[in-house]
Amino acid sequence: AAAVGGAALAAQPAGKGDPAILELPEHSRGLGQPVALEGYGKPSKHEANVQRRRSPGLTQTTQASVSFAPLQSLFGIVTPSGLHFERHHQGWWDIDPSRHRLMINGMVKASKVFTMDELMRLPSVSRFHFIECGANTGMEWGNVAVPTCQYTHGMLSCSEFTGVPLVTLLEMAGADFKKGRFLLAEGADGSSMTRTIPMSLVESGEVLVAYGQNGEMLRPEQGYPLRLVVPGVQGVSWVKYLRRIEVGDQPYGTKDESVHYVDLLPDGTHRQYTSIQECKSVVTTPSGGQMLLDKGFYSISGLAWSGRGKVTRVDVSVDGGRNWREARLQGPVMSKCLTRFSLDWDWDGKPALVQSRATDETGYVQPSYRELRAVRGTRSIYHNNAIQSWMVEESGEVKNVQLG
Amino acid sequence: AAAVGGAALAAQPAGKGDPAILELPEHSRGLGQPVALEGYGKPSKHEANVQRRRSPGLTQTTQASVSFAPLQSLFGIVTPSGLHFERHHQGWWDIDPSRHRLMINGMVKASKVFTMDELMRLPSVSRFHFIECGANTGMEWGNVAVPTCQYTHGMLSCSEFTGVPLVTLLEMAGADFKKGRFLLAEGADGSSMTRTIPMSLVESGEVLVAYGQNGEMLRPEQGYPLRLVVPGVQGVSWVKYLRRIEVGDQPYGTKDESVHYVDLLPDGTHRQYTSIQECKSVVTTPSGGQMLLDKGFYSISGLAWSGRGKVTRVDVSVDGGRNWREARLQGPVMSKCLTRFSLDWDWDGKPALVQSRATDETGYVQPSYRELRAVRGTRSIYHNNAIQSWMVEESGEVKNVQLG
Amino acid sequence: AGYPGIGRDATPDEVKAWDIDVRPDFKGLPPGSGSVAKGQDVWESKCASCHGVFGEANSVFNPLVGGTTAEDIRTGRVAALRRNDYPGRTTLMKVPTVSTLWDYIHRAMPWNAPKSLTVDEVYAATAYLLNLADVVPSDFTLSDKNIAEVQQRMPNRNGMASAHAMWPGGGLPGSQPKPDVQGSNCMKDCPVEAKVTSLLPEFALGANGNLAEQNRLVGPQRGIDTRAPAAR
Amino acid sequence: AGYPGIGRDATPDEVKAWDIDVRPDFKGLPPGSGSVAKGQDVWESKCASCHGVFGEANSVFNPLVGGTTAEDIRTGRVAALRRNDYPGRTTLMKVPTVSTLWDYIHRAMPWNAPKSLTVDEVYAATAYLLNLADVVPSDFTLSDKNIAEVQQRMPNRNGMASAHAMWPGGGLPGSQPKPDVQGSNCMKDCPVEAKVTSLLPEFALGANGNLAEQNRLVGPQRGIDTRAPAAR
Ligand code: HEC
Ligand code: HEC
Ligand SMILES: [Ca+2]
Ligand SMILES: [Ca+2]
Ligand SMILES: [Ca+2]
Ligand SMILES: [Ca+2]
Ligand SMILES: [Ca+2]
Ligand SMILES: [Ca+2]
Ligand SMILES: [Co+2]
Ligand SMILES: [Co+2]
Pocket of ligand 1 from Cβ distances under 6 Å: A 61, 64, 89, 191, 255, 259-260; C 42, 46-47, 49-51, 61, 64, 91, 101, 104-105, 109-112, 117, 125
Interfacial residues of D (vs A; Cβ cutoff 8 Å): 2-6, 8, 10-11, 13-14, 17-18, 111-116, 216-220
Is the minimum CB–CB distance between B341 and chain A shorter than 8 Å?
A: no
Query: Pick from C113, C114, C218: which is nearest to B120 by CB?
Result: C218
How sure is the predictor about B7, in pLDDT bands with cuts at 50, 70 and 90?
very low
Tell me the count of A-B CB pairs closer than 8 A. 341
Question: How far is the centre of ligand 7, averaged over its atoms, from the C-alpha of D6 (Å)?
Answer: 5
C127-167 pLDDT, tens per residue?
A: 999 999 999 999 999 999 999 999 999 999 999 999 999 99
Dist CA C29 CA D184 (whole Å) = 64
pLDDT at residue A7, as a whole number: 40
pLDDT at residue A397, as a whole number: 97
Query: Pick from A10, A13, A121: which is nearest to D11 by CB?
Result: A13
Is the minimum distance from the CB of D90 to ligand 2 under 6 angstroms? no
Assigned domain for B134 exists? yes
**CATH number for the domain including A290?**
2.60.40.650
Across the beta sheet with A270-271, what order do the strands follow?
A263-264, A270-271, C160-161
Assigned domain for B151 exists? yes
C71-97 pLDDT, tens per residue?
A: 999 999 999 999 988 888 999 999 999
CA dihedral D69, D71, D73, D76 (to 10 degrees): -120
- Sign of the alpha-carbon dihedral angle for B203, B205, B206, B210: positive
Distance from CA of B64 to the nearest CA of D (A): 10
pLDDT at residue A6, as a whole number: 40
Question: How far is the centre of ligand 3, averaged over its atoms, from the C-alpha of A56 (Å)?
Answer: 14
Is the minimum distance from the CB of D105 to ligand 2 under 6 angstroms? yes
Is the minimum distance from the CB of B255 to ligand 2 under 6 angstroms? yes
Dist CA B343 CA A123 (whole Å) = 8
Assigned domain for B73 exists? no
Most ligand 1 atoms within 8 A of CB, residue of C43, C50, C156 to mutate: C50
Domains of chain C: 20-151 (1.10.760.10), 202-226 (no CATH)
How sure is the predictor about A12, in pLDDT bands with cuts at 50, 70 and 90?
low
Question: 3-class SS at D107?
Answer: helix
To which H or E segment does residue D115 belong? none
Is the minimum distance from the CB of D101 to ligand 2 under 6 angstroms? yes
How sure is the predictor about B4, in pLDDT bands with cuts at 50, 70 and 90?
very low
pLDDT at residue C58, as a whole number: 62
To which H or E segment does residue B171 belong? helix B166-173
Nearest CA in chain D to B250: D23
- The full DSSP string for D37-84 is HHHHHHHHHHTHHHH-TTSS--SSSPPSS-S--HHHHHHTS-GGGG-T
Residues of C whose CB is below 8 A from B346: 4
Question: How far is the centre of ligand 4, averaged over its atoms, from the C-alpha of D164 (Å)?
Answer: 24
Assigned domain for A242 exists? yes
State whether ipTM is beyond 0.90.
yes
Above pLDDT 70, what percent of chain A? 97
Q: Looking at chain C, which subunits does it touch, using at least 3 CB pairs closer than 8 Å as the criterion? A: A, B
CB contact under 8 A, A76 and B126: yes
Q: Mean pLDDT for chain B?
A: 96
Assigned domain for A2 exists? no
Q: Are residues B193 and B336 in the same domain?
A: no
Averaged pLDDT, B93-106: 98
D35-45 pLDDT, tens per residue?
A: 999 999 999 99
Q: Are residues A152 and A253 in the same domain?
A: yes
Least Cα distance to A379 among A271, A275, A255 occurs for: A271
Does B1 score more than 70 pLDDT? no
Q: Are residues B387 and B292 in the same domain?
A: yes
pLDDT at residue C170, as a whole number: 82
Question: How far is the centre of ligand 5, averaged over its atoms, from the C-alpha of B296 (Å)?
Answer: 8
Query: Pick from A114, A232, A266: which is nearest to C168 by CB?
Result: A232
φ/ψ of residue C224, rounded to 5: -75, 140
Does B3 score more than 70 pLDDT? no
Residue ID of nearest Cα to ligand 2 atom 24 = D91
Residue ID of nearest Cα to ligand 2 atom 19 = D111
CB contact under 8 A, C166 and A275: yes
CB A210 within 8 A of CB A163: yes
Among residues B250, B271, B292, the one where a domain terminates is B271
Dist CA B190 CA D111 (whole Å) = 8
Q: Are residues B289 and B245 in the same domain?
A: no
Residues of B whose CB is below 8 A from A83: 40-41, 215-216
Residues of A whose CB is below 8 A from B25: 95, 99, 188
To which H or E segment does residue B263 belong? strand B263-264
Above pLDDT 90, what percent of chain A? 94
Region of poorest pLDDT, from B14-18, B253-257, B292-296, D89-93: B14-18
Inter-axis angle of helices D98-108 and D119-132, to 10 degrees?
A: 130
Residues of B whose CB is below 8 A from D111: 64, 90, 190
Total count of residues recorded for chain D: 232
CB contact under 8 A, C5 and B297: yes
Dist CA D63 CA D77 (whole Å) = 19
Assigned domain for B318 exists? yes
Total count of residues recorded for chain B: 404
Most ligand 2 atoms within 8 A of CB, residue of D47, D49, D92, D154 to mutate: D47
Q: Are residues A314 and A234 in the same domain?
A: no
The 8-class DSSP code of residue D181 comes to -
Q: Can you tell me which atom of ligand 1 is nearest the CA of C62?
A: 26
To which H or E segment does residue B150 belong? helix B149-153
Dist CA B293 CA B263 (whole Å) = 41
Q: Which residue has the higher pLDDT, A345 or C230?
A: A345
Q: Are residues B118 and B237 in the same domain?
A: yes
Above pLDDT 70, what percent of chain D? 98
D72-117 pLDDT, tens per residue?
A: 999 999 999 999 888 889 999 999 999 999 999 999 999 999 999 9
Q: Are residues A321 and A396 in the same domain?
A: yes
Long-range contacts at D192-195 (CB < 8 A, ≥ 24 apart): D192/B320, D192/B321, D192/B322, D192/B368, D192/B370, D192/B403, D193/B403, D193/B404, D194/B319, D194/B320, D194/B321, D194/B322, D194/B353, D194/B403, D195/B320, D195/B403, D195/B404
Question: How far is the centre of ligand 7, averaged over its atoms, from the C-alpha of B115 (Å)?
Answer: 9
Q: Can you tell me which atom of ligand 1 is nearest the CA of C125?
A: 35
Residues of B whose CB is below 8 A from C219: 116-117, 120-121
CB B127 within 8 A of CB A303: no
pLDDT at residue D4, as a whole number: 87
Tell me the count of B-C CB pairs closer than 8 A. 66
Q: Are strands A101-106 and A242-248 parallel, antiparallel or unpaired?
A: parallel
Does A316 score more than 80 pLDDT? yes
Assigned domain for A31 exists? no
CB contact under 8 A, A46 and B301: no
Q: Which ligand is nearest to the CA of B382?
A: 10
CB contact under 8 A, B91 and A32: yes
Is the minimum distance from the CB of B64 to ligand 2 under 6 angstroms? yes
CB B119 within 8 A of CB B98: no
CB atoms within 10 A of CB A379: 18
- Sign of the alpha-carbon dihedral angle for B69, B72, B77, B83: negative
Nearest CA in chain D to A217: D216
Dist CA A208 CA A115 (whole Å) = 16
Does A90 score more than 90 pLDDT? yes
Tell me the count of B-D CB pairs closer than 8 A. 338
Distance from CA of B229 to the nearest CA of D (A): 14
- Sign of the alpha-carbon dihedral angle for A145, A151, A155, A158: positive
CB A42 within 8 A of CB C185: no
Dist CA B239 CA B388 (whole Å) = 29
- The full DSSP string for chain C is ---TT--EEPPHHHHHHH-----TT-TTPPS-EEEHHHHHHHHHHHTHHHH-TTSS--SSSPPSS-S--HHHHHHTS-GGGG-TT-----HHHH---HHHHHHHHHHH-STTSTT-S-HHHHHHHHHHHHHHTTSS-TT-EEETTTHHHHHTT-TTTT-EE--SS-STT--STT--SS-S-------SS-S----EEEE--GGGGGTT--GGGGS-SSSSEEE---S-GGG-
Among residues A250, A271, A292, the one where a domain terminates is A271
Query: Pick from D5, D112, D219: which is nearest to A297 by CB?
Result: D5
Among residues A229, A252, A271, the one where a domain terminates is A271
pLDDT at residue A1, as a whole number: 37
pLDDT at residue B8, as a whole number: 43
Assigned domain for A48 exists? no
Q: Are strands C196-199 and D160-161 parallel, antiparallel or unpaired?
A: unpaired
Question: How far is the centre of ligand 5, averaged over its atoms, from the C-alpha of A121 (Å)?
Answer: 10
Q: Are residues B175 and B309 in the same domain?
A: no
Parent domain of A328 = 280-401
Q: Are residues B337 and B246 in the same domain?
A: no
Q: Are residues A97 and A212 in the same domain?
A: yes
Most ligand 1 atoms within 8 A of CB, residue of C45, C51, C117 to mutate: C51
CB contact under 8 A, C103 and A254: yes
Instruction: Tell me the residue type at C20.
Output: I
Q: Are residues B106 and B224 in the same domain?
A: yes
Query: Pick from C160, C169, C187: which is nearest to A201 by CB?
Result: C169
Beta strands in A233-321 (DSSP E): 242-248, 263-264, 270-271, 280-285, 290-292, 296-305, 311-317
pLDDT at residue B5, as a whole number: 40
Dist CA A200 CA D15 (whole Å) = 64
Question: How far is the centre of ligand 6, averaged over its atoms, from the C-alpha of A247 (Å)?
Answer: 8
Residues with Cβ within 8 Å of D74's Cβ and at least 6 positions away in sequence, in order, are none
Nearest CA in chain A to B45: A94
Q: Which ligand is nearest to the CA of A294?
A: 7
pLDDT at residue C59, as a whole number: 57
Does A143 score more than 60 pLDDT? yes
Total domains, chain B: 2
CB contact under 8 A, D112 and A296: no
Does B92 score more than 80 pLDDT? yes
Residue ID of nearest Cα to ligand 1 atom 23 = C91
Averaged pLDDT, B352-381: 97
Does D58 score more than 70 pLDDT? no
**CATH number for the domain including B130?**
3.90.420.10
Q: Are residues A325 and A258 in the same domain?
A: no
End-to-end CA distance of chain D: 68
pLDDT at residue A3, as a whole number: 38
